[in-house]
Structure 1
């Protein structure tokens, strides 16, 4: 897919809870932000332990969540996408949750 077909989005995570975080996705239309969808990111102790049972280590679990986030947003938008803001913050939320299960 060419760069012209990649949707530029803003990712706005709500305040994270112990095991979930709601995430709003916006794009820009005519200079104004337009809410496209909301996804729920789940990273409970149980979820992470299940991934560990499958043999995934810390980095593999982080990559699992990155892939899940990308594909879930892509499915809602119907486009490839890149984030202008919020992605790093969202990944930090995931990393913090996963780190707790590796102590």
Structure 2
């Protein structure tokens, strides 16, 4: 699912060197931007979820380094789109997510 929207690392292979570059950007640009905004919203409104805790642990020692936070939010967006696909397909609620009663 992450590959469909262009939120996976693009591999670079040369000889014995194998490095992951930035995101592939193969999907729709607007969908990618919307998913990244959705990831920021997820962090704000789901502070107890596993994704938010992972983001906080990952960016804890970066201080004012905004680049590290922007890189990590792309990973959160990719994980979030996969988690939401699982929710739609199989009914599995993302770990730690708070659902409002209807």
TM-score past 0.5 threshold: no
Q: Which has the higher helix share?
A: 2
Higher relative contact order (CA 8 A, sep 6+): 1
TM-score (norm 1): 0.30
TM-score (norm 2): 0.30
Q: Which has the higher strand share?
A: 1
